[in-house]
């Protein structure tokens, strides 16, 4: 797609870029991606189009390639989820078929408890531990300033809003990915942001946030692990002789 064939480009819904071709019915192409990537791509394309005169019939200069449909290959994460789902389905079924009447009540109880424990572990990771872990692994530290505080809908958590400058010079204003119990004494703080997604950011050590996540994860593990062990023991006890 040559630049002179593009009549207009704009960022749409925060996650996609609309590219309109000149001439004809104004054919529209949409490119989707992460919000940060979509904004960066839009900016680069707008700067590249500055001073370029588009041709009357841009569609004639656009080459369309139709790729044949192929069976999608699940991602590693999807395969892990499918494997765990299969495990949760197979173990209770085997336990109910092979267990004794007295063990079937345990199968039912463990079947109900296992998803609850898994859900607590998932909540612990997604809302408490994932962002601090990512920022610990690849975060970039820059000086920043606390400019505001945002509270949750029910006033249960407080999130500082930081103003900081990326290493490429862009100035950002982002809400912290982790909650705090008290306001910062000094508005000047060291901000850690994710270079892959600068909207993921924190300041300070996030001890209370991490503690809450670990407590929730431990509770989920205490529910999930014994339930799975009980299901495995019942299923194997019914399948194996003796």
Is 14 found in the same domain as 101?
no
163 lies in the same domain as 221:
yes
pLDDT band at 174 (very low <50, low <70, confident <90, very high): very high
Q: Which helix (H) or strand (E) holds 49?
A: helix 35-49
Contact 202, 180 (CB under 8 A): no
Same domain, residue pair 10 and 118 = no
Q: Are residues 36 and 152 in the same domain?
A: no
Rg of the chain on CA atoms, in Å? 26
**With 80 as the cut, is the pLDDT of residue 64 above it?**
no
Whether 112 and 149 share a structural domain: yes
Q: Within a domain: residue 97?
A: yes
Q: Model pTM?
A: 0.61
Run of H or E residues at 20 = strand 16-21
Total domains in the chain come to 2
pLDDT at 16 over 80: no
Task: Tell me the residue range of the domain where 49 lies.
Answer: 3-61
Exposure of 19 by Cβ count < 10 A (0-12 exposed, 13-18 middle, 19+ buried)?
buried
The answer to whether residue 79 scores a pLDDT higher than 80 is: yes
Examine the domain organization and report whether 224 and 192 are in the same domain: yes
Digit-coded pLDDT (tens) for 113-129: 988 999 999 999 998 99
**Helices 207-239 and 76-98: crossing angle, nearest 10°?**
40
Same domain, 41 and 156: no
103 & 215 share domain: yes
Distance CA 72, CA 66 (A): 16
């Amino acid at each position: 797609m040559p630049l002179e064939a593009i009549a207009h480009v704009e960022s749409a819904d925060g996650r996609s870029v609309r590219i309109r071709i000149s001439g004809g019915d104004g054919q529209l192409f949409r490119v989707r991606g992460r919000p940060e990537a979509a904004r960066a791509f839009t900016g680069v394309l707008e700067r590249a189009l500055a001073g370029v005169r588009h041709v009357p019939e841009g569609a004639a200069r656009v080459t369309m390639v139709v790729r044949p449909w192929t069976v999608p290959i699940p991602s590693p994460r999807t395969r892990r989820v499918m494997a765990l789902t299969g495990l949760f389905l197979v173990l209770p079924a085997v336990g109910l078929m092979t267990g004794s009447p007295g063990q079937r009540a345990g199968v039912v109880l463990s079947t109900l408890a296992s998803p609850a424990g898994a859900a607590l572990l998932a909540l612990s990771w997604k809302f408490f531990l994932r962002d601090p872990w990512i920022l610990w692994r690849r975060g970039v530290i820059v000086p920043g300033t606390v400019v505001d505080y945002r509270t949750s809908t029910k006033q249960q958590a407080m999130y500082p809003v930081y103003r900081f400058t990326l290493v490429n010079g862009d100035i950002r204003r982002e809400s912290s990915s982790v909650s705090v119990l008290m306001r910062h004494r000094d508005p000047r703080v060291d901000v850690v942001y994710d270079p892959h997604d600068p909207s993921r950011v924190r300041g300070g050590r996030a001890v209370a946030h991490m503690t809450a996540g670990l407590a929730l994860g431990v509770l989920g593990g205490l529910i999930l692990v014994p339930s799975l062990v009980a299901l495995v023991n019942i299923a194997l006890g019914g399948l194996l002789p003796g």
